[in-house]
Structure 1
Amino acid sequence: MMKKLLYLVRHGQAEDRAPMFRDFERELTSQGIMDSARMGKYLAQKSTQVDRMVTSSAARAYQTAKVMAEQLGYEQEAIVCVDKLYDGGPQAYLEAVNTTPENCSVLMLFGHNPDITYFGEYLTRSDVSSMEKGAVAIYEFEDLSWAEVSAKTARLLGYESPRQIRLS
C-alpha cells in the first residue's frame, strides 16, 4: 500500500444569510469565487492531481468544488455530491472517506464549518483552529485503506488559506 492524500476544503466566502433564502441555497460571492479559483490555481501550480472530488450538495460548497475542479483540470461532471456533508456532522465526513474506492489515492472533500474543522482535528488530534473560508488542509495516510481511516490516523501536511496566498 502507498500513501493517500486527503484535501479538506472549506467552501469559499458566501452570501450573507437572508430571511427569504434557505441557508442551503446561499451562493459564493465574487470574492468567494476568486478565492476558490486562486486556491485551485495555487494547487495546480504545485502539480496537485486529484482522483476524486466529493462535496456537500449545498450551493456554496458545490460552486467551490466546480471552480477548483476547473483550475485542477478535473472533470466537473465527475464531482460527487453528498447531502449529508451539509449537516451530518464530522461522522458524515468520515463516512465519505471510508467509502472512497481504493483505486483513488488523492481525495478532495468540500464542506462546512464547524464540521470540517472538527473532522480534521479528529484525524490528527492537532488543532488547526477554525478553518477559514476557502482554506485547504492536506492530510496524509501511510499504509491505510480508506476504510481504515479513523481517529489519529493522519498527518497534517499543510494548511493554506486564500488570505495567505493573497499575501504571498
Structure 2
Amino acid sequence: MKKTLILVRHATAEDQSFRIKDFDRNLNSKGLSESLAMGKWLVEEGVKPDLLVSSPASRAFKTAEIIAGQYKIPVDAIQTQAGIYDGGPRAYLQAVTTVQEAHSTLMLFGHNPDITYFAEYLSGASIGSMKKGSAVFIEFKNQKWEEISAKTGDLVLYKTPKQIREDE
C-alpha cells in the first residue's frame, strides 16, 4: 500500500526575544493566515491525512491546530512528540517509523532546519530551505512505515503559502 508523508513547517512566528522561550513562541498574524491558506488548499486538493503528529512547541502545534480545523479534526486528535522540537532528524524518523500500518497518510508538523534535512534525507531531493508554512509531499511505494529510511521516498510536491496565494 502506498504511504504519503506530508511534512509541514510551522508558519511564521513572533520574533525571538529574551522574554519568551523559543518553545513558547506563537504564530503572528502572517503565520495565522499562512496556516489557514495551507489548510484550505489541502482540503480543496482532497488531501486526507489519517494522522496528525506535531512538535509540542506553540508555533508548530498552532499550525497543526489551524490546519486540523479546516478538516474539522478535533484538536485532541493531534498527537505530539516532544523529540520533533529539538531531537534532530532522528526524532522525525522515529515519529514516522512508529506509525501504525492502518494509516496511509501522515501529516507531520515541525521546524527548520531539521524538517528540511529530513525531507531531503527521505527523498534524495534538494529542497534548499522549506519556507514557513510550506508542505512537502513524499510518497513511498510498497513500504511499511517502519521500513522508511534514506532515499526510499519520492518527492511529489513542495508547496508554499505564497504559491497558494498566487494561484488564487
Q: Same fold (TM over 0.5)?
A: yes
Distance of 1:76 and 1:107 partners within structure 2:
16
Give 5+ residue unaligned stretches, structure 1: none
Distance of 2:41 and 2:28 partners within structure 1:
20
Give the superposition deviation at 1:77.
Answer: 1.0
% identical equivalent positions = 49
Count of residues in correspondence between the two structures:
167
Distance of 2:99 and 2:110 partners within structure 1:
16
Distance of 1:99 and 1:107 partners within structure 2:
11
Any conservation in 2 of the 1:94–1:150 contact (CA below 8 Å)?
A: yes
Deviations 1:43-66 (A, max 9, x none): 100111110000000000000000
Report what 2:46 is aligned to.
47
Give the superposition deviation at 1:125.
Answer: 1.1
Distance of 1:69 and 1:32 partners within structure 2:
15
Say whether 1:124 aligns with 2:128.
no
Give the superposition deviation at 1:97.
Answer: 0.1
Say whether 1:73 aligns with 2:34.
no
Say whether 1:28 aligns with 2:21.
no
Give 5+ residue unaligned stretches, structure 2: none
RMSD: 0.6
Any conservation in 2 of the 1:98–1:149 contact (CA below 8 Å)?
A: yes
Give the superposition deviation at 1:20.
Answer: 1.1
Give the superposition deviation at 1:166.
Answer: 1.3
Say whether 1:10 aligns with 2:9.
yes
Any conservation in 2 of the 1:48–1:72 contact (CA below 8 Å)?
A: no
Any conservation in 2 of the 1:28–1:60 contact (CA below 8 Å)?
A: yes
